[in-house]
Amino acid sequence: MKQPEAQEDAGGASVAEPDFAAYVGLDWADEKHVCCLAVAGTAEREREELRNTPEDLQVWAAGLYHRFGGRKVAVCLEQSRGAVVFQLAKFPHLELYPAHPTTLAKYRQAFCPSGSKNDPGDSGLLLELVMRHREHLRRLQPEDEQTRLLQMLVEHRRKLVDDRTALSNRLTAWLKTYYPQALNWIDDVDSKLGCAWLERWPTLQEVQRCHAATLRQFFQQHHSRSPERIQQRIQAIQQATPAVTDQALLRAGAMITRTLVASLKVLGESIAQLDTEIAELAAQHPEARLFSGLPGAGPVLGPRLIVAFGTQRQRYHTAQDLQSYSGIAPVTMQSGNTRCVHFRYACPKFLRQTFHEFAAHSIHRSVWARAYYQMYISRHPHDKHKHHAAVRALAYKWMRVLFRCWQDRTPYDEAVYLRALEKHHSPLAQASQPGSTDSLAAVTVTGLEWRTVSGFQKLCRKNA
């Protein structure tokens, strides 16, 4: 009997691979799928079309189960998340191998330089990938149910926040057109005070007809307690000059403002509901204690870090595996004497965003993180992208620390890490001393030099 081969998962960890009875390349589409099947040990190819319905996929998967006696079947498809993957994942005899669209496109170009493309041909190429180049594909190994639920909720919450930002920008643009004074009186257009204000008084003319006592009561009901601030607003309202007098613009602006405010209110309520659900799920997660106390990881970033690492510790051999997969580590291109290091584009964007935002928040909560950031900024005074470059470099360093905490199941302790920096004579230990991080004195420490390590600039002591 053929022995199972070893195959690497998403992080390069070696896992036992089943002895597959057959291989399938599935080119999915909105209305129908094209499948190309090869029985293990044979050269014959079988093709068939499936309608994109749960019933047809159920019949097809059940047919494979009975045909091969429940043995494993490897399925390669151009999707890592989506309807087809979720529907096929429920069948235990199907092992899914997602192929990146770029991988399939380049593979097709290698054999079809003319650029011809069709669904049966793509299904055959997917079959070739899973049969001959399986070691370069990542077998789909879903996390546990609790982690996957938390991941879907935190990703959806981020999308709702982006939608709220887009609506807020649209509303701000409209207010600047016909009612700019409101932006000075309500602070944030998506806040409860801002939405209530614009819903009640969408034009300057309407608010100026109100009595001062009504305005004062409104501000007090919406937690604006400063009498001086309230009086300043009331005087500004009474003395304001209309930006425009065009009735068409005023009527359209009022109507559009009310519709945008209604959408913002719904989004705000949905985000609040998600926050409650995410907080409950995160508190019950087995990895919660590792990420709940991180500097800069509050109720939003804490759950995102939980799903970023997950529970499968065999997925990544080293921190470098995670840094490369997440997109924090840069890409090096070298040919002859030419060498170029650039930003990594092909990566899970939400995962990279999670580590980037956490590193940015940690600057204000962690002593050594703030010192590291200041060192990087001072070394690149003329780089217009220095902030994000410094945050990525800090995220790269944070991931090494968090990876070790995650592998050892030990919560991060700032005091312990600072003692470790001092023990290893790290320049950050000296820069993190009281009084050093409030200025850039840390970068003038003698005997230090910057070296390129894995594409990043690292501060090291000069060799004697």
Residue 419, C-beta contacts closer than 8 angstroms, at least 6 positions apart: none
Whole-number pLDDT of residue 338: 86
Element (H, E) at 457: strand 456-461
Output the six-digit token pair for 392: 């990525």
Q: Per-residue pLDDT tens for 229-274? A: 999 999 999 999 999 999 999 999 999 999 999 999 999 999 999 9
For Cα atoms 209, 212, 215, give the angle at the middle one, nearest 5 degrees: 85
| Per-residue confidence band for 15, with pLDDT thresholds at 50, 70 and 90 | low
Output the six-digit token pair for 184: 């000075």
Whole-number pLDDT of residue 16: 64
The phi and psi torsions of 341 (rounded to 5 degrees) equal -115, 125
Q: Strand pairing of 22-27 and 32-39?
A: antiparallel
Element (H, E) at 131: helix 119-132
| Polymer length in residues for the chain | 464
Tell me what the mean pLDDT of segment 164-168 comes to.
Answer: 96
> What is the average pLDDT value for the chain, to the nearest integer?
88
**Domains, the chain, with CATH or none:** 6-142 (3.30.420), 147-282 (1.10.287.4070), 291-461 (no CATH)
Tell me what the mean pLDDT of segment 63-77 comes to.
Answer: 95
For Cα atoms 158, 325, 22, give the angle at the middle one, nearest 5 degrees: 105
Share of residues in the chain with pLDDT > 70 (%): 89
Q: Per-residue pLDDT tens for 256-266? A: 999 999 999 99
